[in-house]
Each structure stands twice: as C-alpha cells, then as structure tokens.
C-alpha cells in the first residue's frame, strides 16, 4: 500500500486526503516547517506542530487557517493516524509520521542531527518507509563541525563590522 504518492501539487496521502508541503494550491496542507519552500501561501488549511505556529502566521498572514498539534500527539486524518516528530532543522520543524494499519511511513523535510539550542533535537522514528529531502547532502556540500562554522560566521561578522 502506497501511503504517499508524488503528484503535480506535491506529496499526496490519498488515505488521509492531504498533501505534505504542497507547491500547488490544495485544501489540506500538512507543513513540515516555516521556510518558504515548504510553507506556501494560499492553502485552504494548514496543519503543523504547535512550535511552528507563529512562524507560519508571520509567513502566511493572520488570515491563514492553521491547526496545530503537539509533537508525538496522534491525530486522525481520514483513514490514517498522523503525528509530528522533531526534525532538528529550525524551531517547529517536523518529521511527519503516517500510519495506516501496520504500515508506518515517515516524511521529513529539511532535518539536522547535530545539536541545536534553537529547536528540539531530531528524533529517530522507526518506520517501514522513510522519505527525506536532502538538499544539502549532495557531495558538493562538505560540512565542518558546528563550532567551526559558527566561528567563521562570527569572524565574517566582525570583519564587516570593522
């Protein structure tokens, strides 16, 4: 059973009749986090984790209809059970766990497994199928450790200040 399918508007869950981070206009959009390439304007209803609420309101406007849930809270959408789990990317970033009968699929938008004091740490969510976005996992990106990256940003800032 395919719990998610790629469509022209984004990843679609037919069993729950919702999309995840859609790019086309849809009625129900489950949102992984508040960055502009994931939370787009014009959806009928947005469903996200509580921690993402204010970022989404800021991005989508006060009139946006946003339903929120806590991390790990299980809610029903159509025939599936859905829950959000920390993705460690930014405040309110989530992996989306979808269960239908004994099948569990997890979709994550951007995620990070390094420590980050600004958001909840990435949670390993056991599943049958894991779908991940991996913009920065291409071999062209070589990441150093967090402290070195922060030091470089700080040095750049100091240089500009001078």
* Residues engaged in binding Zn ion (CB under 5 A): 35, 110
Asked if 10 contacts 1 with a C-beta cutoff of 8 angstroms, the reply is no
Cα angle for residues 25, 26, 30 (degrees, 5° grid): 115
Minimum distance of Zn ion from residue 110's CB (angstroms)? 4
Cβ-based nearer residue to Zn ion, 15 or 110: 110
The radius of gyration computed from the CA coordinates of the chain, to the nearest angstrom, equals 17
Minimum distance of Zn ion from residue 82's CB (angstroms)? 20
Minimum distance of Zn ion from residue 161's CB (angstroms)? 28
Minimum distance of Zn ion from residue 101's CB (angstroms)? 31
Which positions ≥6 away from 28 have C-beta within 8 Å? 17, 18, 19, 43, 44, 45, 47, 77
Cβ-based nearer residue to Zn ion, 16 or 34: 34
Cβ-based nearer residue to Zn ion, 27 or 37: 37
Minimum distance of Zn ion from residue 34's CB (angstroms)? 8
Cβ-based nearer residue to Zn ion, 104 or 119: 119
Q: In this structure, what token pair is assigned to residue 160?
A: 């500009």
| Chain centroid offset of residue 42 CA | 18
| Chain centroid offset of residue 137 CA | 17
Cβ-based nearer residue to Zn ion, 15 or 40: 40
Closest residue to Zn ion in the complex (CB):
35
Handedness of CA 22, 131, 108, 152 (dihedral sign): negative
CA distances from 71 to 83, 113, 123, 154 (A): 7, 17, 10, 33
């Amino acid at each position: 059973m395919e719990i998610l399918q790629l469509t022209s508007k984004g990843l679609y869950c037919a069993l729950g009749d919702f999309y995840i981070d859609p790019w086309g206009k849809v009625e129900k959009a489950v949102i992984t986090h508040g960055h502009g390439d994931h939370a787009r304007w014009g959806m009928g209803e947005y469903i996200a984790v509580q921690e993402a609420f204010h970022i989404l309101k800021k991005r989508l406007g006060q009139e946006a209809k946003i339903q929120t849930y806590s991390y790990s809270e299980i809610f029903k959408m159509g025939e599936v059970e859905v829950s959000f789990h920390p993705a460690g990317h930014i405040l309110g970033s989530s992996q989306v766990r979808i269960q239908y009968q004994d099948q569990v699929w997890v979709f994550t938008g951007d995620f990070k497994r390094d420590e980050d004091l600004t958001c909840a740490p990435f949670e390993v969510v056991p599943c049958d199928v894991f779908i991940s976005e991996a913009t920065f996992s291409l071999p062209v990106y070589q990441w150093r450790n967090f402290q070195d990256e922060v030091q470089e940003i700080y040095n750049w800032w100091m240089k500009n200040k001078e």
